[in-house]
Structure 1
Amino acid sequence: MVQLWCQGHCFRPIAAVIFDKDGTLADVAHYLRVVAIARAVKIAEPFPNLKESLLQAFGVIGDHLDPTGLQAVGTRQENLIAAAAFVATQGIPWIAALERANAAFGEADREFSAKAPLTPPLPGVIELVQRLHRLGCALAIISSDRTSEIEAFLDTYHLKPFFQLWQGADELPTKPDPQVFLRACDRLGVRPEQTVVIGDADSDGLMAQRGGAAASIGVTWGWHRPPALNYCDCILASPLEIQIRSDEN
């Protein structure tokens, strides 16, 4: 068990920490923006008037990506459904709109197939993970990314030995459904009230809150423009703000 101290809060006793991946462990802001642009361009080839609307829907604002927007927070499937809805506004039948969006997403995916090498760990997160692991804290990842991408990230940066469990959005349900959190706790062999969730989105905070977690720690360290977070016990700008102590009582 450990104690987690941040901004005057002490969360204890803590047996496990569940991390989000993108924007929490991995630096994805630039990558997600260029992927969103590629998807919008390909979808809009037959419908040029859709490009700006798609970019806005994905959360591309000028030279940055909205950290609370669809591309940053939503699953691939949620992004695809939203894109298909825009295609359908052009008088395209729904199944054809879905096929158009799916084909465009597939083309963009092939252009940016090697995500892990382009999305390195954010400064300080490896040290945070290592400290938690060293003190015996169970660690997991629940992400809106695909499970294969979580594994690629862990393998690329030699982090797999530190984590007991990881789950992507291809395994239902997805965040913010509390069942995702509760199932992870069960698999880790820990109680929800002794588990902390660390993430950069309201979906992380809501999942933790609804699942009865010990705490939800919101983080802004993955974004140039900090996201507004509404369901957190505290919000941190750096991994260095988390102090970890052994809890022997």
Structure 2
Amino acid sequence: MLSVLRPLPVEQIRLVVFDLDGTLIDSRKDLCNAVNAMLAEFHRQPLPEEIIASYIGDGAGMLVRRALGDPHDEPLVDDALQHFLAYYREHKLDHTYVYEGVMESLAKLRALPNGAGSRAMAVLTNKPIGPSLAICAALGLSEHFFRIYGGDSFETKKPDPVGLLALMQEAGAKPEETLMVGDSDVDLLTAQRAGAWSLGCRYGLSPHTIENIPADVLVDTPMEWMDAFAAGE
């Protein structure tokens, strides 16, 4: 069900930036399998998917660190991260799929009339750029976006707004002309710090966290993205 705190200024939104995992794609099983494969390599017990899913959102490094119990042994974390990435590179598309309604909603958003001119769309994820590009290409998402940035595209990750600000500059969009769409408090905080509008997705991998940061609009499905825009007309 659509929840609106502040109606989106549809006419002036020139840039829509999407998170990837939990927003456009359900990558939970492949990420969890990669974490447990890494843990097995280090002779540790596997973790339930529910636990691993709660660790997703801050990049591969933090995912691995949390799965290991946040150790102070940095060489261990670095070694484990390499094992995780090696496994994930080979298995990133075993079970990952695009959420129902995403493709249709992306096409409609791109075609939606915009009083401010053309509307650009992009991806800003904390997932490493390599698998992010490969997944978007394999699942047919790439054609919708003028740019895809990953967690290692900049010196810092979300919620630091550096990536979102870079996308604004490239698209020629002001903060008040920009919308960030994501399933976690990391995405909402990124939007807040950049002065952009925010749309929280309650269906993703980290929906429990979006209650921590007020979102301008909350949706339960990708199909409701269009409802969010319609509510602001």
Shared fold per TM-score greater than 0.5: yes
CA apart distance, 1:198: 0.5
1:111-148 Cα offsets, whole Å, 9 max, x none, are: x6141453111011111111111124210100011222
Note the alpha carbon deviations across 1:144-166, whole angstroms, 9 max, x for none: 11222222222112222211111
Q: Which residue of 2 aligns with 1:31?
A: 30
Partner of 2:107: 130
Alpha-carbon separation, structure 2, partners of 1:221 and 1:66: 17
Classify the secondary structure of the residue corresponding to 2:71: helix
Residue aligning to 1:189: 172
1:175, CA displacement in angstroms?
0.2
| Contact 2:8–2:216 (CA under 8 A) maintained in structure 1 | no
- Helix, strand or coil for the counterpart of 1:197? strand
Rg larger in structure: 1
Deviation at 1:177, TM superposition (A): 0.3
Q: Which structure has more strand as a fraction of its residues?
A: 1
Q: State how far apart, in whole Å, the 2-side matches of 1:209 and 1:180 are.
A: 13
TM-score scaled by length of structure 2:
0.81
Aligned-pair CA distance for 1:234? 2.8
State the distance in 2 between where 1:106 and 1:147 align: 12
Query: How far, CA to CA, are the matches of 2:202 and 2:195 in structure 1?
Result: 23
* Deviating more after overlay: 18-27 vs 133-142: 133-142
Q: Using CA pairs under 8 Å that are at least 6 residues apart, name the structure with larger relative contact order, 1 or 2.
A: 2
> Per-residue displacement from partner, 1:178-229 (whole Å, max 9, x unpaired)?
222111110111111111111011110100001100x211102235x84231
Q: TM-score with structure 1 length normalisation?
A: 0.76
Distance in structure 2 (CA, Å) of the matches to 1:102 and 1:236: 33
Unaligned runs of 5+ in 2: 113-117
Partner of 1:10: 7
Going from structure 1 to structure 2, the CA distance change for 1:34 and 1:161 (only over 3 Å counts) comes to same
Query: Can you list the C-alpha shifts for 1:64-111, whole angstroms capped at 9, x where unaligned?
Result: 3464x32x11211223455495373xxxxx53x2454245325533xx
CA contact (8 A) 1:144 1:169 kept: yes
Q: Write out aligned runs for 1:50-65 (5 A).
A: 51=45, 55=47, 62-65=48-51
1:139 matched residue in structure 2: 121
Tell me the percent identity.
26
Give the AA of the match of 1:105. F
Length, aligned pairs only: 218
Query: How far apart in 1 are the matches of 2:209 and 2:77?
Result: 31
For residues 208 and 70 of structure 2, the distance between their equivalents in structure 1, rounded to whole angstroms, comes to: 26
For the pair 1:101 / 2:87, whether they are aligned, the reply is: no
SS at match of 2:180: strand
Q: What pairs with 1:90-239 in structure 2 (closer than 5 Å)?
A: 94-95=74-75, 97-98=76-77, 100-106=79-85, 108-109=87-88, 113-116=90-93, 118-135=95-112, 136-172=118-154, 173-213=156-196, 215-223=197-205, 226-229=207-210, 230-231=212-213, 232-239=215-222
User: In 2, Cα distance between the equivalents of 1:197 and 1:140?
Assistant: 10
Which stretches of structure 1, 4 residues or longer, exceed 6 Å deviation after superposition? none
Q: Distance in 2 between matches of 1:99 and 1:146?
A: 15
Unaligned runs of 5+ in 1: 1-5, 56-61, 89-93
Counterpart code for 1:188: A
Change in 2 beyond 3 A, CA 1:145/1:64 = same
Task: For 1:128, give the aligned amino acid.
Answer: S
